[in-house]
Amino acid sequence: METIWYCFVAVMIAAYVVLDGFDMGAGIVHLFVARTEGERRAVLASIGPVWDGNEVWLLAGGGTLYFAFPGLYASSFSGFYLPLMIVLWLLILRGISIEFRNHIQSLVWQPLWDVVFAGASALLAIFFGAALGNVVRGVPLDRSGEFFLPLWTDFTAGKNTGILDWYTILIAVAALLTLAVHGSLWIALKTEGAVEVRARRFAKSV
């Protein structure tokens, strides 16, 4: 029964990464593939109807984890407290940058939120990649099943490691590139003209 729920949680996390991954990827690449106001609006419109629904898979995955593996939930959410808070803020920044940018027509306002959207999306991809790296590498759990990790120590992957070391940074960079390609393929699928061509070229070049 535990294995069945492990598969459910894995499927939900995979669904989240595939679905919100293209939203994040679109955010990462949109400054490069969309250069005019109209092109950027087209990129946002391509993810507009679905991005918040896609993020619900993260909540559903977290809720399922809480229900099925409370021991893991307690241990990891307290041990990864600092990066989880950073991820929460990045999710908030990404959401409000999509929603706020069109409220005021200004030469400063829209480019500002475009940069916030791109930066938050890229950092989210990096943090999720580093999280995967931490789960594969392991964490310094004690006998009570608890641990604490600083953001970084000496970047070696030994016993006194931090959340960021050479291995988790490698996975984080791979996650950033993977989601950038995923997002550009989504943009190529959903847009036309110059944006589609640039997105396709970006995906091929990476």
Partner 1 sequence: MVLITLASFRIQPHLQESFAARPWGYGFPLLAVVGLVGIRFLSGFRGGLEAFLCSCLFIVGMLTSAAFGTYPFVLPSNADPSLGLTVHDSAAPLYGLQVGLMWFIPGMLLACGYFVYTYRSFSGKVKLDGQGHY
How many degrees, rounded to 5, is the angle at CA 108 between CA 106 and CA 109? Answer: 65
Considering the complex, state which of residue 21 and residue 123 has its C-beta at the smaller distance from partner 1.
21
Distance of CA 169 to the CA centre of its chain: 14
Q: Least separation, in Å, of the C-beta of 123 and partner 1?
A: 19
Considering the complex, state which of residue 126 and residue 181 has its C-beta at the smaller distance from partner 1.
181
Residue 179 makes CB contacts below 8 A (sequence gap 6+) with: 21, 22, 24, 25, 28, 125
The answer to whether the CB of 29 falls within 8 A of the CB of 180 is yes
Considering the complex, state which of residue 91 and residue 132 has its C-beta at the smaller distance from partner 1.
132
**Which phi-psi region, left, alpha or beta, contains residue 36 (left: φ > 0; alpha: ψ -120 to 50)?**
beta
5 binds partner 1 (CB under 8 A): yes
Using the rule CB under 8 A, give the single segment among 26-34, 87-95, 113-121, 188-196 that binds partner 1.
188-196
| Binding residue (CB under 8 A) for partner 1 from 92, 136, 151, 194 | 136
150 binds partner 1 (CB under 8 A): no
Rg (CA), the chain: 18
135 binds partner 1 (CB under 8 A): yes
137 binds partner 1 (CB under 8 A): yes
- Residue 97: is it exposed, middle or buried by C-beta count within 10 angstroms (0-12/13-18/19+)? buried
Single out the residue of 14, 148, 160, 1 nearest to residue 75, CA to CA: 148
| Binding residue (CB under 8 A) for partner 1 from 105, 107, 108, 142 | 142
Local structure of 152: helix, strand or coil: strand
Binding site for partner 1 (CB under 8 A): 1-6, 8, 10, 13-14, 17-18, 21-22, 38, 41-42, 44-46, 48-50, 53, 60, 64, 67-72, 75-76, 102, 132, 135-143, 145, 157, 159, 161, 167, 170-171, 174, 178, 181-182, 185-186, 188-192, 196, 200, 203-204
